[in-house]
Amino acid sequence: MFKPFVRLIAPLAGAALTLAACQDAPDAPAPETRADMDASQTAAPSLLARALDIAAPEAEQRPVTIEQLGRTRVDEFAWMRDDNWQQVMRDPSVLQADIRAHLEAENSYYAQVMAPTQALQQRLYAEMRGRIKEDDSSSPERDGDWFYYSRYREGGQYPVYVRRAAGADGEMSGDEQILFDGDAEAEGIDYFQLGAVDHSPDHRWLAYAVDTAGSEFYQLRIRNLETGEDIATLTDESYGSLEWANDSQTLYWVWRDENNRPRRVYRQAIDSESRELVYEESDPGYFLGVGKTDGNSWIILSANDHTTSELRLFDANDPAAEPILVSQRESGVEYSLTEAGGRIFVLTNQDGAVDFKIMSAPLDDPRRENWSDFIDHRPGVLVTSLIGYQDWLVRLERANALPRLIVRRFSDDAEHEIAFDEEAYALGAWGGYEYAVDRLRFSYESPSTPTEIYDYDMASRERTLIKRQEIPSGHNADDYVVRRLMATARDGEQIPVTLLYREGTPLDGSAPVLLYGYGSYGITIPASFSTSRLSLVDRGMIYAIAHIRGGMAKGYQWYLDGKLDKKENTFNDFVDAGQMLIDEGYTRAGSMVAYGGSAGGLLVGAAINQAPELFAGGIAAVPFVDVLNTMSDPSLPLTPPEWPEWGNPIEDAAAYDYILSYSPYDQIHAQAYPHVLATAGLTDPRVTYWEPAKWIARLRATRTDDGLTLMRTNMGAGHGGASGRFDSLLERAEEFAFALMVAGLADAEAAEASAAAGADAPSEDEANTGG
């Protein structure tokens, strides 16, 4: 199932090249709650006590009255939205002066508060970087006469894409050829993000998309792989999605409009300045993408919102092909196509198949009237994706919040499952470039087990380990405990919760917890391995993931029960999962740190509005917190596409009232709150910078206690933050230092780290200048 452009950033999880290590864990002290902090301020100047003595910025209030559907609301910080925001995304220097001054004041205040943790931040960064094999590489994938892979060099921030020839014995041979050197290409550029990178079927050309502002407008370039020279820049307004036709001369690519929405698909010869418009989407709520079926027979043009699909096919062998509409869009009906065994297989929820069923159609005419049932719908077993081969069909399913891989042989329709033993784990699978093979490549990991990549022979059922994630600083999975618990929600539902903690961590309520959640768009947060989160776990924190409604951990209905007029379930599940950890003695009230990014930041904001007493702190990364105003502004990139997710408060009074009832910005009220850190990216097109800026300003002005209300804006990046793999770790280290500080685990180590670095904590003068 194609998932469109959404408010998503990576959770605290490691990618395949981001590795992990452990260190000797200190005894976990009792975390410092707000009451403890108040009492301790007379005894010793803790990091928190010192921070609370620093004056915070006071944002000017310029009330604006908004009339909508017979309702009135007042927004005193609406001025933070630059009316010229589209241009700011492309050129941050044009940001309105008063808004820039405010964001810079917030950054200065943040720097002053966090200054005493700088040595701790550097220690965290060094740990996280030390868990990365800096010269790591991906597992080579064969495509005809070549093996393709990517690698990093020691100290490099960006990947290097390379290939080597396939020898007569089927193994790699000859010298490596560099196709794209990310470090060289990014030199002198503050922000550098790659979209698609794809070689042509004849191996002569490379098409790649690059964003140098964080706005997600990609330049689309073509490189001659024989000379290494770029021959053309097709556009600087690409969405980043592209696909080669089989003639190796024609490229399909997606164009983004002035509101950052994918609106058109073009077909273009790589040696021509002229482009052919093959599709234009009239509905601003739909996203476009291009791809190709596994057997390379069809180019797929997908038009989707969050709950509805419409696909068109172009003959991949005909560069002038006319489109075939597979099935006209029908609200609430999703479908995707996979080529396998000389047929097309359709994964769809039509006919009430909530968790999806599989249908079959002729390869040469896969229109809807030719679909027939192949594997029936099984309630509670969500089919998430299919991979096609000449002789095999592989499906990835999820049941009881755990993934599984099922392999089906076409010759006799026999099926078998690839089994795994751990209590909680994550799987990935992909087919590679070659179609007429018996090999499936899959990855396996768990919160304690680094990523392992296997080649699996579907005929013999033998699995061969081809790569295990290396941890240069060392890692012993036996030092960690992974648990899968169930929390009973207030309406009786059972919420899966995954725990990771270090062996020996006290389970008597004294350990602080970092509680992570997302819970939107049907996106399921896997029980994966993360190199960075070990820096918290090794210091005595328990890391918990709440698999709440709004995701698909327990099937598609789990998603339906956490959206639109059931969205409150998402927030209740998160709070109830935290309460379960308190009731079961893992932690205590006031000792948890809530963490979520993007739509997960909405979760954090709603949770601390609902149950602030549970949390010592909240970290909301690029948070979607101004829900009512954003969903009422159809000019914003994600507003029309996301009305099926949240509701349309412009036209629907019930949607207006329901969104208002939980929108974190609108539901701030006079009460004590936990310490809060929000982050933002100035060029972020998904969650615009003014959402966290307004939220922090109102929260600081309204809360009744003296807790920290911090915001850090990356003035040169977008939704994902810093672009380099090491630069992004610096931002993660800052967030972790905040978590440790508010959980009461940072004071002694921050002082020790400062002393070890040869510098005492900054003086008052240094702190007041952010030094």
Catalytic residues: 598, 684, 719
In what helix (H) or strand (E) does residue 52 lie, and over which residues does it extend?
helix 47-52
**Pairing assessment for the beta strands 250-256 and 262-269 based on DSSP bridges:** antiparallel
Tokens of 495: 């919420």
Tokens of 671: 């009460």
Give the Cα-Cα-Cα angle 192, 293, 435 (nearest 5 degrees): 100
In what helix (H) or strand (E) does residue 48 lie, and over which residues does it extend?
helix 47-52
In what helix (H) or strand (E) does residue 233 lie, and over which residues does it extend?
strand 230-244
Of 616, 518, 627, 528, the closest CA to residue 573 belongs to: 518
**Pairing assessment for the beta strands 513-516 and 494-502 based on DSSP bridges:** unpaired
Q: Which amino acid is at 547?
A: H
What distance separates the 2 farthest-apart alpha carbons in the chain? 79
Alpha helices for 520-671 (secondary structure H): 534-537, 556-560, 568-583, 599-610, 627-631, 639-646, 653-662
Of 229, 151, 240, 236, the closest CA to residue 193 belongs to: 240
CA distances from residue 116 to 43, 45, 354, 613, 731 in whole angstroms, order as listed: 19, 12, 52, 26, 16
Cα(333)–Cα(41) distance, integer angstroms: 58
Beta strands in 370-493, from DSSP E residues, in sequence order: 372-375, 382-388, 392-399, 402-409, 415-418, 426-430, 439-445, 452-457, 462-468, 480-488
CA distances from residue 200 to 161, 222, 235 in whole angstroms, order as listed: 14, 10, 18
**Three-state secondary structure string covering 665-720:** CCCCCCCCCCEEEEEEECCCCCCCCHHHHHHHHHHHHHCCCCCCEEEEEECCCECC
Report whether 503 contacts 556 (CB < 8 A). no
Dihedral of CA atoms 232, 234, 236, 240 in degrees, nearest 10, equals -110
**Residue for token pair 């950033």:** 9
Q: Which amino acid is at 626?
A: D
In what helix (H) or strand (E) does residue 113 lie, and over which residues does it extend?
helix 97-114
Cα(461)–Cα(413) distance, integer angstroms: 16
Helices (H) and strands (E) in the chain, counts: 17, 37
Cα(734)–Cα(123) distance, integer angstroms: 11
Cα(134)–Cα(470) distance, integer angstroms: 10
Tokens of 86: 């589209």
Burial of 142 (0-12, 13-18, 19+ CB in 10 A): middle
Provide the 3-class DSSP secondary structure of residue 768.
helix
In what helix (H) or strand (E) does residue 255 lie, and over which residues does it extend?
strand 250-256
Q: Which amino acid is at 42?
A: T
Cα(33)–Cα(42) distance, integer angstroms: 15
Phi, psi (degrees; rounded to nearest 5) at 128: -65, -40
Cα(628)–Cα(648) distance, integer angstroms: 9
Q: Which amino acid is at 749?
A: E
Cα(179)–Cα(199) distance, integer angstroms: 9
**Residue for token pair 């073509």:** 222
